[in-house]
Structure 1
Amino acid sequence: MDRRRGGGRGRTAGVLGAAVCAALALPGGAWAAGGAGTAGADTDAKGYAFEADAARVKGAVSTLDAERLQAGRTYRDTLKKDGKLYYRVDLDAQQNAYASVVAVPKAGTAATFADGVKVSMRDGSGTQCGYQDEDFGSGKYGRPIAAYADRTLEPGSSTCRKAGAYYVLVERTSKEDSDPGDWELEIRFRTEPGVKPVGPTKLPENWASGTPQPPAGGPRPRDGGAGLHEAVSLGEGEWRTDLRPGQTVFYRIPVDWGQQLFVGAELGSSPAADTYVGGALALSLENPAYGHVTDSQSLGYSGGPASMELGPQRPVAYENRFAANRETSAMRFAGWYYLSATLSPELAEVYGDGALPLTLRVTVRGKAEAGPAYQGDAGPFAVTGDDRDAAENGLSVPAQQRGDTLRIVGLAGIGTGTVLVLGLGVWWLPARRSAAGRA
């Protein structure tokens, strides 16, 4: 009997130790609102922070040798110049599917209009279900760029509807004199539940395309993350950060069904020089499946204030996916929309390597509407109350995930000292009962 009691105390002590360890591992000051950086993240020389839990995968040159990607997982691979890599995904006959790629060139890579990445999804017969290609545009410098391929179940179409193996092809487009260096890839595969009934497929004829008044209240400081997985949350308002030449920062904005997103940017003045630099700032917007929505690379800079806006997008709607226009089609679901900003490395040659002030203006117009009747969990294709709180508080992706973990284990709002007291209480009560039993 005593041995069993002793074993009980040992198990309780083990629980206490686990609770203490969990408490000590809670996020502290390093995870303050608006802070960027993830402990253990794999960051390349350019500063892009890859998702730390991403698994290494090796793309194949043949579909028959392609490794299978699992839904909800993130992967890493390397793409050579003129390279083509195949991956396999297994789909049912009810879900839409999305395979996305973030291509990250090495630091200092020069780029042209011809340099880019194409992602496509094909069925077993080679029929192309969906594709997207993205390049560096007028900004002649390498930076992280994203593209995705989709399998969309379109009413009335028999293409790509069968269950079975599908293949994701990632291709690098380049010219003979393009930089020969390898590109690192961050690959994600996500599925979207089917809906019943399907609902409308025709786009509304009228929608607000005018730019709203800029948000009031003045800029508030909020530094961005170094990768998509470290994106820092933004809500409506003006947000200020400092950006160095060649640096890319990532943010995310919750946009619900029926809502419309507007984004503007302004580079502050510099006393260093007054020389014109074209393509000084590049903005890019990606959707909740990490597919490219739109970008802008037309901002020139001469040392004085300079501003630009992303083109107005349609309100988020399920029927957008059936549009021929790529930007409209990408605004197909609610969730986090990802905004990146890159400052041209050419600015360092004229204005030095110091940071320039950048203000982002975010407006989300319209009330949230009911979403489609998904036949399953919407997953990332929804906006929750926690998401809105994260945007208000400037939480990064890892910070919000850690908060979710706290709620799961019932420790939300409980300090380390409280956890220790509770743990000691858990240990003391059985010990007290054991002593009473021996008396």
Structure 2
Amino acid sequence: MNTGLRRAAVSMMAVAIVMGLSSVAQTSAAPVRAPELVPLMVVLDASGSMQPQGKMASAKNAVRMLAEQAPEGASMGLAVYGSGTGNTPAEKPRGCKDVKVLHKPGTSDPGALAQSVNGIEPRGYTPIGESLRTAAAQLPAGKPGAIVLVSDGEDTCAPPDPCQVAKDLAEDGTDLKVHSVGFNVDEKAERQLTCIAQATGGTFSAAPDGDDLARVLPRVTRQALRNYDTAGKPINGGSDTSSAPPAGPGLHLDQIGENESKYYAIDVPKGYTARATATAVYNDEGGTSDTEKLSARVLDRGGKRCRGRYTFTRKDLRVGSAHRTWKPTGSMGGSCSEPGKFHFKVERRKLSGGVDGPVPVELMVMLEPPVGEGGKGAERGDRVSFQQPGGPPEEAVGGGSFNTAALLNGSGQYTDTLLPGETIFYRVDLDWGQAMAHRVRLPAGPPADLTTQTFSFGPNRSMLYKSGNDPYRGEATQIEPSRTLRPVRYLNRDLMSTIGADDEQAIPGAYYIAVQLADPRGASGAPVPVNLDVSVQGKAEQGPAYVGGGIRDGRTSPAPAADDEESSSLVSGAGPLLWVGAPVLLLAIAAPLVYLWLQRRRSPAPAAPFPGPP
């Protein structure tokens, strides 16, 4: 009986341990999470001002081109305003309600969408605000969506004010981006169209003539379907240190104009390391020469420089990140060595061929606590070499931004399709002790005149390495980055990157791969299949013993109180490794307890004591 019971208990423990290990395996083999293309509505201006100089014909041609070049599976619709009435004062009441849906969003049918513009005749008013409401109503409720607005002038029907309508759409809880295209517009109309786009986190693009519209509209639409999805808590950077708003840990969203500087106040506690990064989002293809510069520097509370300037110089990459990392210590000198308020200064300089007007800028702030007596973790290691991953290829639909990057399931071969002009992002989560290498392969295809490049970014969006800008002519091409990563370890912060990163792979988290496909001529082209080979190496290991909780980046819980230092250091230093091993750890603790219980069951009961006196 006792022997059978022991055997049963041992069997149960074995099954439990296997189940625990199975859960670990399942945790590490999560399916690829792929962001989908968002449904989209194009809103086309058919007001009376579109009559002269073949404007309407150019707009129709641009819509036909975007329909032909739409990615497979895209859900696009079309609305038009101004085609149902004239533009006399007597017709204004009806004309300001004149918005028609010609094609509802659905699986892309290039022929149907292209034919829907054939009968449009420009005649009436410009009810932009009303058209935004109508277009938004065609998109699935409660889900991300996009509107691409094409107009050759400002609204002529307010109320409703179109910029306020855009703000209302942004505040109703729906993730809706409006991207506006100004077709030969004046400054007043450009300001209104820019306001509409920025109110929802979208972009404004200028198309001075018909040829530009045929090029810009398909590009903006493709980017809207898989767009750089700006994100963050709204913030308005100051014009100097005295007006700098506080920027705590997390992601903030602002905009920065041509040749403008913005200031933000960041409070750094004693012993903490601060990381701040400004990411500018450009809505054009750039050029073959330098088009923009984005700089960042750190100042003390009085405006004195604490760290040298880091400058990102842009050619055609759709994003630019300028970052600084600092820790108030004696080596920084003066008030820069004291904890407290610092100022993060961001400067944008537009060069020849740069983006006109303001561009969105995301500000990421991270605070890393000091390390306690538990140590800083393992010594830094060497860069890994690329190892070709095995297994069948997996489809991974990359995102258009850091915020929508497709999460890749570690090592593997991944496939995607890029259109000329796209920069697509993928994410690989690395724990302490893990490293990454990757390469990009483009198969042979139709003749092309494109360039391609790949990049890697760290958790704070600092660029870690990149490849050369290689031509793609339709022949099989392999893109090899100039470097790889070393294992993620705390002590890597003592190293400097040749391209300017303050520290290399010194914190765990989301590491990013970006793949860019550019057309130097700015022309549209056929989609190109892309193969992304990712090699993740190293096992998760114990990290540093942080005091006061883990890294604060706005996505994690606030740092625990001081009396929780021991337990919080264990959790923040171990990372996912601790949580993955928790079931096995609990089973290991339970096993001896079950054994002792069985021993008590097999031992004879102790003799009863002598009774006391009556």
TM-score scaled by structure 1?
0.70
| Separation of aligned partners in 1, 2:269 and 2:452 | 42
| Separation of aligned partners in 2, 1:202 and 1:257 | 9
- Which of 163, 168, 172 is 2:339 aligned to? 163
Q: Are 2:430 and 1:221 equivalent residues in the alignment?
A: no
Q: Are 2:416 and 1:237 equivalent residues in the alignment?
A: no
Q: How does 1:83-98 map to 2 (within 5 A)?
A: 83-98=260-275
- Which of 516, 526, 531 is 1:354 aligned to? 526
| Separation of aligned partners in 1, 2:363 and 2:354 | 23
CA displacement at 1:219 relative to structure 2: 1.8
- Which of 43, 50, 56 is 2:229 aligned to? 50
Q: What is the count of residue pairs matched by the alignment? A: 345
Q: Tell me, what secondary structure is at the counterpart of 2:255?
A: strand
CA displacement at 1:163 relative to structure 2: 2.0
Which region of structure 1 is more displaced relative to structure 2, 148-157 or 215-224?
Answer: 148-157
Q: Are 2:537 and 1:365 equivalent residues in the alignment?
A: yes
| Separation of aligned partners in 2, 1:34 and 1:387 | 25
| Separation of aligned partners in 1, 2:389 and 2:257 | 44
- Which of 319, 322, 336 is 2:510 aligned to? 336
CA displacement at 1:191 relative to structure 2: 1.1
Q: How does 1:129-148 map to 2 (within 5 A)?
A: 129=307, 131-136=309-314, 140-148=315-323
Q: Please say if residues 389 and 535 of structure 2, whose CA atoms lie closer than 8 Å, have aligned partners that are also in contact.
A: yes
Letter in 1 for 2:361: L
Q: How does 1:183-198 map to 2 (within 5 A)?
A: 183-197=359-373
CA displacement at 1:90 relative to structure 2: 1.4
Q: Where does structure 2 lack aligned partners over 5 or more consecutive residues? A: 1-30, 39-142, 145-174, 178-201, 204-219, 554-571, 581-614
Q: Please say if residues 41 and 49 of structure 1, whose CA atoms lie closer than 8 Å, have aligned partners that are also in contact.
A: no
Q: Which residue of 2 aligns with 1:384?
A: 576
Q: Tell me, what secondary structure is at the counterpart of 1:354?
A: coil
Q: Are 2:229 and 1:64 equivalent residues in the alignment?
A: no
Q: Which residue of 1 aligns with 2:34?
A: 34
Q: Tell me, what secondary structure is at the counterpart of 2:294?
A: strand
Letter in 2 for 1:143: R
| Separation of aligned partners in 1, 2:502 and 2:273 | 17
User: CA deviation digits over 1:397-439, x for unaligned, max 9?
Assistant: xxxxxxxxxxxxxxxxxxxxxxxxxxxxxxxxxxxxxxxxxxx
- Pair 155,320 (structure 1): closer, same or farther in 2 beyond 3 Å: farther
- Pair 268,256 (structure 1): closer, same or farther in 2 beyond 3 Å: same
CA displacement at 1:118 relative to structure 2: 1.4
Q: Please say if residues 266 and 344 of structure 2, whose CA atoms lie closer than 8 Å, have aligned partners that are also in contact.
A: yes
- Which of 228, 246, 251 is 2:426 aligned to? 251
| Separation of aligned partners in 2, 1:215 and 1:255 | 17
| Separation of aligned partners in 1, 2:388 and 2:265 | 45
CA displacement at 1:223 relative to structure 2: 0.4
CA displacement at 1:281 relative to structure 2: 1.6
Q: Please say if residues 294 and 312 of structure 2, whose CA atoms lie closer than 8 Å, have aligned partners that are also in contact.
A: yes
Q: Which residue of 2 aligns with 1:102?
A: 279
- Pair 56,289 (structure 1): closer, same or farther in 2 beyond 3 Å: same
CA displacement at 1:312 relative to structure 2: 1.7
- Which of 490, 498, 507 is 1:318 aligned to? 490
Q: Please say if residues 431 and 508 of structure 2, whose CA atoms lie closer than 8 Å, have aligned partners that are also in contact.
A: yes
Letter in 1 for 2:294: V
| Separation of aligned partners in 1, 2:433 and 2:330 | 22
CA displacement at 1:187 relative to structure 2: 1.4
- Pair 228,386 (structure 1): closer, same or farther in 2 beyond 3 Å: farther
- Which of 231, 254, 260 is 1:77 aligned to? 254
CA displacement at 1:360 relative to structure 2: 0.8
Q: Please say if residues 268 and 341 of structure 2, whose CA atoms lie closer than 8 Å, have aligned partners that are also in contact.
A: yes
Q: Which residue of 2 aligns with 1:306?
A: 477
Q: Please say if residues 287 and 520 of structure 2, whose CA atoms lie closer than 8 Å, have aligned partners that are also in contact.
A: no
Letter in 2 for 1:195: V
CA displacement at 1:361 relative to structure 2: 0.8
- Pair 164,71 (structure 1): closer, same or farther in 2 beyond 3 Å: same
- Pair 202,386 (structure 1): closer, same or farther in 2 beyond 3 Å: closer
Letter in 2 for 1:334: P
Letter in 1 for 2:241: T
Q: Tell me, what secondary structure is at the counterpart of 2:283?
A: coil
Identity %: 23
User: CA deviation digits over 1:118-147, x for unaligned, max 9?
Assistant: 1222222413236533223xxx42511223
CA displacement at 1:96 relative to structure 2: 1.1
CA displacement at 1:284 relative to structure 2: 2.1
Q: Where does structure 1 lack aligned partners over 5 or more consecutive residues? A: 1-30, 389-439
- Pair 154,369 (structure 1): closer, same or farther in 2 beyond 3 Å: farther
Q: Which residue of 2 aligns with 1:152?
A: 327
CA displacement at 1:114 relative to structure 2: 5.7
Q: Which residue of 2 aligns with 1:120?
A: 297
User: CA deviation digits over 1:272-325, x for unaligned, max 9?
Assistant: x255x4xx1222222112222222242221111111122122221111112233
Q: Please say if residues 281 and 341 of structure 1, whose CA atoms lie closer than 8 Å, have aligned partners that are also in contact.
A: yes
Q: Which has the higher strand share?
A: 1
Q: Which has the higher helix share?
A: 2
CA displacement at 1:268 relative to structure 2: 2.1
User: CA deviation digits over 1:52-109, x for unaligned, max 9?
Assistant: 5x2322222210011111212x222221222111111112112111111211112344
- Which of 370, 375, 385 is 2:547 aligned to? 375
Letter in 1 for 2:461: Y
| Separation of aligned partners in 1, 2:546 and 2:244 | 31
- Pair 198,68 (structure 1): closer, same or farther in 2 beyond 3 Å: farther
- Which of 281, 284, 291 is 2:452 aligned to? 281
- Pair 333,269 (structure 1): closer, same or farther in 2 beyond 3 Å: same
| Separation of aligned partners in 2, 1:338 and 1:197 | 32
Q: Please say if residues 459 and 510 of structure 2, whose CA atoms lie closer than 8 Å, have aligned partners that are also in contact.
A: yes
TM-score scaled by structure 2?
0.51
Larger RCO (CA under 8 A, 6+ residues apart): 1
| Separation of aligned partners in 2, 1:69 and 1:119 | 15
| Separation of aligned partners in 2, 1:155 and 1:318 | 20
Q: Tell me, what secondary structure is at the counterpart of 1:363?
A: strand
- Higher-Rg structure is 2
Q: Tell me, what secondary structure is at the counterpart of 1:330?
A: coil
Letter in 2 for 1:295: K
Letter in 2 for 1:184: P
- Which of 436, 439, 446 is 1:261 aligned to? 436
Q: Tell me, what secondary structure is at the counterpart of 2:467?
A: strand
| Separation of aligned partners in 2, 1:41 and 1:129 | 38
Q: Please say if residues 131 and 150 of structure 1, whose CA atoms lie closer than 8 Å, have aligned partners that are also in contact.
A: no
